[in-house]
Amino acid sequence: MMYKQYKLPLIVFIMTFILLAFVQIKVERPMILAERFLKGSGWVEIFLISCYGAFVVNKMKDPMNVPKWRKICWTTFSLVFFTQLIIGLSGFDKFLMTGKLHLPIPMMILAGPIYRGQLSVMTILFLSTVILTGPAWCSQLCYFGAFDNLSSGGKSSKEILKYKGAIKSTVLIFVIAMAIILKWMHAGMLVSTLIAIAFGVGGILIMILYSLKRKKMVHCVMYCPIGTIVNVFKHINPFRMHIDQSCTLCMNCTKFCKYDALNPLDIKNAKPAITCTLCGDCLAGCHHNSIKYKFLKMSPEQARNLYLILTISLHASCLALARI
């Protein structure tokens, strides 16, 4: 009984420890922050971060706790990320990943490589998370999205976000086209940076003006081009969410979905919309246990446990590496 209770925390602890140990041993420039200040202390940080991962999965294994603890953990992740960025920009470059500045705007994960003609560390990290966990980037790992989540706090409205498909596609095409044009015109770094900053400020305004009012993550669902890429390419990963026949169409789950993925038509079709990030918040609102995770031939419980293990191990590992 005790083993079953602590099985998930133990697995997450081991996975997180192994992932960070690989980084500690294999990467020449110390990536673990503590190691940059005192040789050998990186192992202490790895142990503590692994304990953190075990603590989080222990809290989130109960579906009723997911909305609360996902918000806490995701917000913590973003605060750590931006705090280290601010300290790094203040002259302490040990708090920066490479010692070089990169704009902390998700759009740059896409536009940056197009403009520069080469992949970045963030792009590779992003693509890796999509392969491993599908859309978890948009519910646990994006340093920008956590603030949209906070802006949309409270019970989600039943209002459907209209034309989100057209708007999402338009923004994505605009970002790609703009990066190509800037590269073709040999635009200087200053011009490119100012355009990127303007795009980021626009995202913040959307959070304040729309997400806050509609209680949905309008920035992530309709504006962020990385979210659109995740919506499309998440299907390379086998994780799915479905609604079984026990659903009574009570629509209570819609109050918990910030991604506009559980509208009445989606629920009647027994399948969340493409904007679903598999965050699991909706499980807390389903009184009949009708919404379930699916992974190949696994049972719903096994599929959910596997998803928690992978996403929280990645979340904890990225927390230790949450720097630009």
Examine the pLDDT at 257 and tell me if it is beyond 90.
yes
Q: What is the pLDDT of residue 95?
A: 81
Mean pLDDT of 182-192: 88
- pLDDT one-digit tens code per residue, 206-217: 999 999 999 999
Confidence of residue 100 (pLDDT cuts 50, 70, 90): low
Confidence of residue 156 (pLDDT cuts 50, 70, 90): confident
CA–CA gap between residue 144 and residue 202 (Å, rounded):
13
- pLDDT one-digit tens code per residue, 168-183: 999 999 999 999 999 9
CA-nearest of 235, 241, 293, 243 to 264 is: 243
Mean pLDDT over all residues of the chain? 90
Examine the pLDDT at 149 and tell me if it is beyond 90.
yes
Phi, psi of 243 (to 5 degrees): -115, 120
Q: What is the pLDDT of residue 1?
A: 52
CA–CA gap between residue 142 and residue 277 (Å, rounded):
12
Examine the pLDDT at 225 and tell me if it is beyond 70.
yes
Q: What is the pLDDT of residue 157?
A: 78
The share of the chain scoring above pLDDT 70, in percent, equals 97
Mean pLDDT of 108-129: 85
Q: What is the pLDDT of residue 199?
A: 94
Q: What is the pLDDT of residue 77?
A: 93
Sign of CA dihedral 126, 132, 135, 138: negative
- Dihedral in degrees, nearest 10, Cα atoms 19, 314, 47, 81: 120
CA–CA gap between residue 261 and residue 243 (Å, rounded):
12
- pLDDT one-digit tens code per residue, 76-92: 999 999 998 888 888 88
Q: Could you give the number of structural domains in the chain? A: 1
Q: What is the pLDDT of residue 29?
A: 79
User: In the numeric block, which tokens belong to residue 199?
Assistant: 């795009």
Q: What is the pLDDT of residue 105?
A: 86
CA–CA gap between residue 200 and residue 107 (Å, rounded):
8
CA-nearest of 165, 164, 162, 155 to 254 is: 155
> Any idea what the Cα angle at residue 170 is, between residues 169 and 171, rounded to 5°?
95
Residue 278: strand, helix, or coil: coil
Q: What is the pLDDT of residue 3?
A: 54
Mean pLDDT of 31-57: 94
CA-nearest of 297, 295, 320 to 309 is: 295
Mean pLDDT of 233-238: 92
Q: What is the pLDDT of residue 293?
A: 96
What is the extent of the structural domain holding 74?
2-320
User: In the numeric block, which tokens belong to residue 269?
Assistant: 């079709």
Examine the pLDDT at 98 and tell me if it is beyond 70.
no
Examine the pLDDT at 63 and tell me if it is beyond 60.
yes
Q: What is the pLDDT of residue 321?
A: 84
User: In the numeric block, which tokens belong to residue 251?
Assistant: 């629509």
For the chain, what's the residue count?
Answer: 324
Mean pLDDT of 232-241: 92
E-strand ranges in the chain read 240-243, 291-294
Asked whether 222 and 259 are in contact (CB, 8 A), the reply is no
